[in-house]
Amino acid sequence: MKKQKLDRTNAPEVFQNINIELNEPSLYVLNNKIPVYYLSSDNHDLICIQLIFKAGYAYNNINLQAEMTAAMLQKGTSKYSAYQIASEIDNYGAYLDITCQVDNAFVTLTCLKKNLKKLLPIVKSMISEATFREKEFKLYLHRNLQSFLTEEQKPKAIATKHFSKLIYGENTPYGTILESSDYDKIRIDCLSDFYINHYTPDNCTIIMSGPIDNTVLELLNENLGDFWKANSNKKSFVQINNPATGRTNIKRENALQSTIVIGKHVMPYQHPDYVQFNLLNIVFGGFFGSRLMKNIREDKGYTYGIYSKVILNQQASVFLIKVDTATETTEPTLKEIKNEIEIIKNELISEDELKLVKNYTIGNFMRSIDGVYNQAECFKDLFLRGSGLKMYVDNFKKLMLISPETLQATANKYLDLESMLTVVVGNVQ
Amino acid sequence: MILFDKFTLSNGLQFFIHKDTSTPMVSMNIIYDVGSRDEQPDKTGLAHFFEHLMFGGSKNVPLYDTPLQLAGGENNAWTNSDVTDFYLDIPKANIETAFWIESDRMLQLSLTKKSIETQRQVVIEEFKQTYLNQPYGDIWLLIKPLSYKTHPYSWNTIGKDISHIQNATTEDIRTFYKKFYIPNNAIVCIAGDVETVEMQRLAEKWFGNIPSGTQYVRNLPPEPKQTQARFLDVTRDVPQEIIFKTWHIGGRLDDDYYAADLLSDILGSGESSRLHTSLVEKKKIFTKVNAYITGDIDPGLLIFKGNVSPDIDIEKAEKVLNEEITSICEKATTSAALNRVKNKAETALAFENISIANKAMRLAICANLGHPELINTIPQHYKSIKLSDIQTVAEKTLIDKNCNTLFYRSQK
C-alpha cells in the first residue's frame, strides 16, 4: 500500500462538548450550625479544608485590624504557642494558610487524610481561643511593616493603591489606603475585639474537598462543631459614592516603565448583563488571544503583558485594564487601548473570532471544574457571590449562545472611556 | 504510583504516556534539552528569547495560539538554566490538534522578521519589568556572577544584559533553532485519559517524518572548586537591607542532592525552621529568613536570604548568622526536625500528583535527566536520608571558603 503523504495544512477536526452537568456540593451542618459544603473524591489522599469568616478588612474600624487579627491566629492560643503551632503543622507535613482579603478571611488547612485527626484540634484552638499576646504581636507587626515598606515601592502596588482610592472613594472600606503610620496606631485590644465579634460560628462557612467520608465529617464536628460565640457587633457597609473618572498621573522619578490601570464600576455576578459582559471582557483583554494582547503585545511589542478583568467583590464589581509599558510607549499604549475600545463598539465581531473565544471558554470552563479541588475553589468564589455551581453551568451555557450583535450592544452600553478612571504611575508629567 | 509507557520514534523523539482517567483534559508537555547554560557568553538570553519566538507561527500554523484556543486549549512555556519547557492542556477529544501544532513548530518554525522584532521588544520589556523596575529586582543579576566564575550558570536566563537581546541577529536565531529544536533533543509527555497505542499512531503521523538533526553534545566548562570566600557589597534605593549567601552544592543526580535539599528546609523553610526560630523569633536579627536550593542539573547552590531588622547593623546581622551556621555545622539537626521536613516533602509530592499538567511536567523533567523512574522513586530518596547524611552535607557545604555573600544595603 502506498503511504499517503501527510497534509499539514489540514487542521484536525475540533469537537465541542458543552453538555456538562455539575452537582452542587453536599451539605453537612455542624452542631454549632456551621455549614460545611464538601466535594468528595477517593482518587487522592489530600484533604483541603477552608474556613471562611466574614472578617475581611472591609469590616475594619481601624486600619490593619482584620489583617492583623487573621495573622495573629497562628501566633499563640491558650493551648499552643506560636512555635508549637508552626512545628505541629510541619510535623504532620501539612500546610496552613491564613489570608485576609477585602470581604473575608480564610483559614485553609491542607493535609494528608491520615493526619487530619492530629491537626484539627490546632485549627479549633486558633479560631476559638487565640490569646493575642502583646509580645508576639509587636514582633509580628514590626516584621510585617518591613514587608509593607518593600511592597509599597513596587510600581504595581502604587498603581493599585491610587486606583482603589479613586475608584472606591477614600473613606469607604474598599478604598481605604494603608499607610506606614497605621502600624503605630493599631493596638492589641482592637484585635481581640475584632476576634470576638467576627470569628464566630454564625460568621463562618466551611468548604472542603478530597477523600471525605463520614469519619472525616464526624471528626470535623467533634473539633469545630462545639465552640459557641455570638457575633454581636456587625459593621454595616459604607456605600461608594461618585467614583472618580478622568486621568491621574503619579510621578515616579527614574522609572523605566509606566504602570497603567484603567477601569470603572460594573454589574454584580447576578445581574442579567453579567454573562455578556464577561464574554466581552474575554474578547477584549481576558486571555492571551485577546484584542489587547494581540495588538499591544503581539503586534506592537509595547509590553510583556496586558489584560483586562472583572473583579467581583461582595459590595462592588470593577472592570479594569492593566499594563506595564516602557516610559516612551506610555502614550502610544493608551492610544491603542482607546482604539480597541472604539473598534469593539463600532464593529461587529466576526463569527470566526467569536467562535474561537467561545471554544477557548469551553476549555477554560472544563479546566475550572476539573477534579474536586478545582470544583471546591470554583464553588467558593460562586458561594461568596451568593451563587452556586448550577448557576455557573447555566451561565456558561448562556454564554455559548451570545450573538455578535449582543456583544456589540454590551460594548456600547458599558465600555465608555469617558466613564472610566485612568491611573498612570511612572516617569510622566 | 505514576505508571507510564515509553516509545521512541526513529528520529529520536521520545514519548512518555501516563494514563489518568479522572479528567476530561489531556496535558502535553514538551521539553527541549536546551537552557541558558548552552548559550555563548557574549550572546546570552537567547534560549529564553527563543521560547518567545516558538509562538510566532510555523509554516502551516501561522498563529500558534489560534487553533489551540479554537480547540479549547491553553498553553504556556518557561525557560531556565537547563531546559526549555512548553506545555498545553486541551479537552481530550481535541488532542490531535496538539500534535498538529507542536509538530509543525518543531518541523518548520517561520521566524519572520515581524515576529523576531516584536518578541525582542516584549522580552526587553520583560527584562525591565522583572529585573530593573522593581525594588531588589537586580539581586539575581548580582548573585549569579558572584557565585559562578566559569560555568554558564554565571548568567541569568533572561540574559546578562539587555544589549544581548538587542544584538541577537536573525542568523544567531536560525542557528539556535537548527541546533536545539530537533526531535532527538526533545521529549514529549502526555498525561490524561489516553491510550498509548493511539498516542503512538498520532506521534508517528505528525512527528514521525521530522528529520533528526546533529546530536548536540554538551561540553560545558565546569565550575572550579571555590577556594576562598567571596563578597559583594551594593547600595540601592530600597527600604530594607538584605543578606544573601550562596554555597556550592552538587548537581541534580549527585548522591547528596536530597540531603542538601532537606538541609535547606531544616535551615530555613517555614516558621519551625532553625534559622527562623533562632534569628527571627529569638534574636530578632532578621525579620524574614529563607533557605532553599536551586535544583539545577549541574552543580547548583544552596541559598540563604535574610531581611535584616531595621535597627540592626548588617555587619552585626552577618556575624550572628555566621555563628548560627557554625553551630549548625557542629550539630546540623535532630531526628524530629528531619522527620518534619520529610513529612513536608511527602505532602508536597501528593500535591504535585493532583493535576495532569504537573504530572506530565515532572515526568518530562525526570525523563530529561535520563531517569523517568525518578517520578516514583523521589519519595524513597527523601525517606532514606539519615541524620548522618545531613551532618555530612552540612559540614561539607556550609564552610566559609565555599560561600558567597551579598550585602544589599539601603541608602537610608
List the single best residue of A137, A145, A367 to mutate versus B (max B Cβ within 10 A): A367
**Would you call B204 an interface residue with chain A, using a CB distance cutoff of 8 Å?**
no
Determine contact, residues A377/A389, Cβ cutoff 8 Å: no
pLDDT for the residue numbered A241:
66
Rama region for A38: left / alpha / beta (φ>0; ψ in -120 to 50; rest): beta
How many Å lie between the alpha carbon of A110 and the closest alpha carbon of chain B?
Answer: 9
Enumerate residues 6+ apart whose C-beta is below 8 A from B313.
Answer: none
Label the pairing between strands B286-293 and A105-112: unpaired
pLDDT for the residue numbered A2:
47
Interface of A with B in 189-218 (CB under 8 A): none
pLDDT for the residue numbered A234:
58
8-state DSSP, B224: P
pLDDT for the residue numbered A232:
58
**Would you call B274 an interface residue with chain A, using a CB distance cutoff of 8 Å?**
no
Please list the residues that pair with B186 across neighbouring strands.
B32
Written as one string, the DSSP assignment of A65-88 is HHHHHHHHTTS-BSS--HHHHHHH
Contact across the interface for A366 and B25, Cβ inside 8 Å: yes
* Residue A341 one-letter amino acid: I
pLDDT for the residue numbered A172:
85
The confidence band for A171, taking pLDDT boundaries of 50, 70 and 90, is confident
The confidence band for A141, taking pLDDT boundaries of 50, 70 and 90, is very high
Q: Considering chain A, what is the average pLDDT of its residues?
A: 92
Among partner residues A150, A298, A370, which is closest to B118 by beta-carbon distance?
A: A298
How many Å lie between the alpha carbon of B393 and the closest alpha carbon of chain A?
Answer: 22
Asked if pLDDT for residue B332 goes beyond 90, the answer is no
Neighbours of A355 (CB within 10 A): 15
pLDDT for the residue numbered A17:
74
Neighbours of A18 (CB within 10 A): 15
List the single best residue of B119, B236, B271, B281 to mutate versus A (max A Cβ within 10 A): B271
A324: which 3 cell numbers?
506595564
A347: which 3 cell numbers?
464593529
Interface of A with B in 34-73 (CB under 8 A): 41, 43-46
Rg, C-alpha atoms of chain A: 24
Please list the residues that pair with A52 across neighbouring strands.
A106, A205
pLDDT for the residue numbered B344:
86
Query: Which residues of chain A does B132 touch, with a Cβ-Cβ cutoff of 8 Å?
Result: 256
Determine contact, residues A386/A262, Cβ cutoff 8 Å: no
Contact across the interface for B346 and A82, Cβ inside 8 Å: no
Enumerate residues 6+ apart whose C-beta is below 8 A from A367.
Answer: A374, B25, B74, B89
Query: Which residues of chain B does A6 touch, with a Cβ-Cβ cutoff of 8 Å?
Result: 205-206, 209
Comparing A349-363, B53-67, B184-198, B325-339, which segment has the lowest mean pLDDT? Answer: B325-339
A229/A204 Cα distance (integer angstroms): 11
How many Å lie between the alpha carbon of B339 and the closest alpha carbon of chain A?
Answer: 7
Task: Report the side by side order of strands in the sheet with A257-266.
Answer: A246-251, A421-426, A257-266, A317-326, A306-312
Asked if pLDDT for residue A236 goes beyond 80, the answer is no
Interface of A with B in 72-91 (CB under 8 A): 82-83, 86-87, 89-91
Percent of chain B with pLDDT over 70: 100
Contact across the interface for B134 and A155, Cβ inside 8 Å: yes
Determine contact, residues B194/B98, Cβ cutoff 8 Å: no
Task: Report helix angle A404-414 to A351-368, nearest 10.
Answer: 80
pLDDT for the residue numbered A240:
66
**pLDDT tens sequence across B85-132:** 999 999 999 999 999 999 999 999 999 999 999 999 999 999 999 999
- A247 phi and psi, to 5 degrees? -120, 135
Query: Which residues of chain B does A116 touch, with a Cβ-Cβ cutoff of 8 Å?
Result: none
pLDDT for the residue numbered A44:
85
**pTM, whole model, 2 decimals?**
0.92
B205/B201 Cα distance (integer angstroms): 6
**Would you call A178 an interface residue with chain B, using a CB distance cutoff of 8 Å?**
no
**Would you call B239 an interface residue with chain A, using a CB distance cutoff of 8 Å?**
yes
Percent of chain A with pLDDT over 90: 81
Contact across the interface for B125 and A9, Cβ inside 8 Å: no
Percent of chain B with pLDDT over 90: 90
Determine contact, residues B49/B111, Cβ cutoff 8 Å: no
Contact across the interface for A12 and B100, Cβ inside 8 Å: yes
Label the pairing between strands B403-410 and B230-236: parallel
The confidence band for A23, taking pLDDT boundaries of 50, 70 and 90, is confident
* Residue B72 one-letter amino acid: G
Query: Which residues of chain B does A297 touch, with a Cβ-Cβ cutoff of 8 Å?
Result: 118, 122
Rama region for B81: left / alpha / beta (φ>0; ψ in -120 to 50; rest): alpha
**Would you call B379 an interface residue with chain A, using a CB distance cutoff of 8 Å?**
no
Degrees, nearest 5: CA angle B286-B287-B292: 75
Kindly identify which residue of chain B lies nearest to residue A97, measuring between CA atoms.
B270
- Overall average pLDDT of the A271-292 stretch: 97
**pLDDT tens sequence across A190-213:** 999 999 999 999 999 999 999 999
pLDDT for the residue numbered B354:
87
- Complex ipTM above 0.95? no
- Overall average pLDDT of the B346-355 stretch: 85
- Overall average pLDDT of the A355-365 stretch: 93
The confidence band for A410, taking pLDDT boundaries of 50, 70 and 90, is very high
Determine contact, residues B275/B267, Cβ cutoff 8 Å: yes
**Would you call B186 an interface residue with chain A, using a CB distance cutoff of 8 Å?**
no
Kindly identify which residue of chain A lies nearest to residue B410, measuring between CA atoms.
A150
Among partner residues A90, A299, A325, which is closest to B125 by beta-carbon distance?
A: A325
**Would you call A1 an interface residue with chain B, using a CB distance cutoff of 8 Å?**
no
**Would you call A153 an interface residue with chain B, using a CB distance cutoff of 8 Å?**
yes
Task: Report the side by side order of strands in the sheet with B242-248.
Answer: B230-236, B403-410, B242-248, B301-308, B286-293
Q: Classify each residue of A88-126 as buried b or exposed e, where b means 16 or more C-beta atoms within 10 Å of its C-beta.
A: bbbbbbbbbebebbbbbbbbbbbbbbebbeebbebbbbb
Asked if pLDDT for residue A237 goes beyond 90, the answer is no
Contact across the interface for A324 and B129, Cβ inside 8 Å: yes
The full length of chain B comes to: 412
- A28 phi and psi, to 5 degrees? -135, 135
Interface of A with B in 292-321 (CB under 8 A): 297-304
